Amino acid sequence: MPRPAKPFVLGAVAYDAKVVTIWDGFRAFFERAGFPFDYVLYSNYEAQVEAHLRGELDVAWNSPLAWLETERAARQQGKQAHAIAMRDTDRDLTSVILVAVDDPAQTLADLRDRSIGVGASDSPQATLIPLEAIAATGLHPGEDLRVVRHDVLVGKHGDHIGGERDALRALVRGTVDAAAIIDVNHLAFQREGTIPLGSMRILAQTGTYDHCNMTVLGAPPDAPRFAELLFAMSYDDPQVRPLLDLEGLHQWLPGRTEGYALLAQAIDRFGTIADWLATQA
């Protein structure tokens, strides 16, 4: 296969210093395979999505919210977005709503007139999807119960998990009655001591949803080769394994979009991206 005439350019959000290490390593992997590759880092997902829509990127490593932003803005502009790859760890996730182990609440309905700590306002896993689960029971977040947001690094869509940690700390202090986090962080927060062992229990768990994906617009000619190389990454390769560990996966899988239904319901209910989307028409 002939080499691309120019590098295939990926956009990613710099939510942590390790992002540079990850994408430098991926660039070396692609170069070894004869596939020129480069990346551009953004401080927030909206800037990345807008750059992608302007044609400045070949592919974007999108959060679930950034995927929906891209898909909907692209449709407004007569374009089509495609999710071409995702991590094995991006599939079938859930969020949990925690309360103190001795809290009297037995269902989400029991949170009426009480308070919940959530992550950043744009966090799918620690704010939008959990609040959608609460709203689906008939409670109106912000009216029937107080929502305490922990707006750490808004624009990064909760990737840094700092807001989740702060929500849990508020629950430990007793300044909120419940807290929402992604399920995979539940054990991690226990191990690090943010959740004192035996101090909390799960009041409710959301339905399943998917997380990040590699997004393209239209059909970039080099996208199939890019995806092919991602799928060829092996956890048994000693040069690749550290990169996969940093990025939190064992295997790249084909992208799918049905796992964004809960988040789509949430942003429709709360009008999360309505103002931003109007600027992209």
Residues 132 and 72 in one domain: no
138 with 274, same domain: the answer is: no
- pLDDT, residue 5, reads 67
Question: 8 or 190, which is more confident?
Answer: 8
Query: pLDDT of 229-247, one tens digit each?
Result: 999 999 999 999 999 999 9
The reply to whether 2 falls in a domain is: no
* pLDDT band at residue 2 under the 50/70/90 scheme: low
Domain assignment of residue 223, yes or no: yes
C-alpha pair distances (Å), 190 with each of 117, 177, 193, 198: 17, 18, 5, 9
pLDDT at 181 over 80: yes
* pLDDT for the residue 187: 86
What's the domain range around 15? 8-90+210-278
Contact 217, 80 (CB under 8 A): yes
Q: CA–CA separation, 176 vs 163, rounded Å?
A: 14
Residues 57, 118 share a domain: no
- Lowest-pLDDT choice from 19-28, 33-42, 143-152, 192-201: 192-201
Query: Residue 277: pLDDT above 60?
Result: yes
pLDDT at 4 over 80: no
Note the pLDDT tens digit of each residue in 46-62. Answer: 999 999 999 999 999 99
Determine the Cα–Cα distance for residues 164 and 137; give it in Å rounded to an integer: 23
Distance from the first to the final alpha carbon of the chain: 38
Q: Tokens at residue 18, please? A: 């390790």
Residue 31 has pLDDT above 70, yes or no: yes
Residue 3 placed within a domain: no
pLDDT higher than 80, residue 263: yes
Kindly state whether residues 105 and 66 are assigned to the same domain.
Answer: no
Domain endpoint, select from 176, 205, 234: 205
Q: What is the mean pLDDT of residues 71-87?
A: 98
Instruction: Give CA–CA dist 218/99, Å, rounded.
Output: 45
Instruction: Tell if the pTM clears 0.85, that is, is over it.
Output: yes
Q: Give me the pLDDT at residue 209, please.
A: 98
Domain boundary among 147, 176, 205: 205
pLDDT of residue 273: 98
> Among positive and negative, which fits the CA dihedral 10, 16, 17, 18?
negative
Question: Are 118 and 131 in the same domain?
Answer: yes
Claim to verify: residue 16 and residue 76 sit in the same structural domain:
yes
Segment 15-35 mean pLDDT: 97
Task: Report pLDDT for 226.
Answer: 98
* CA pair distance 140, 262, nearest whole angstrom: 17
At residue 267 the predicted structure's pLDDT band, cuts being 50, 70 and 90, is very high
Say yes or no to pLDDT of 43 above 90.
yes
Q: How far apart are CA 184 and CA 274, in angstroms?
A: 29
CATH code (residue 59): 3.40.190.10
In the 8-state DSSP scheme, what is residue 6? S
- pLDDT for 161: 87
Place of tokens 């768990």: 205
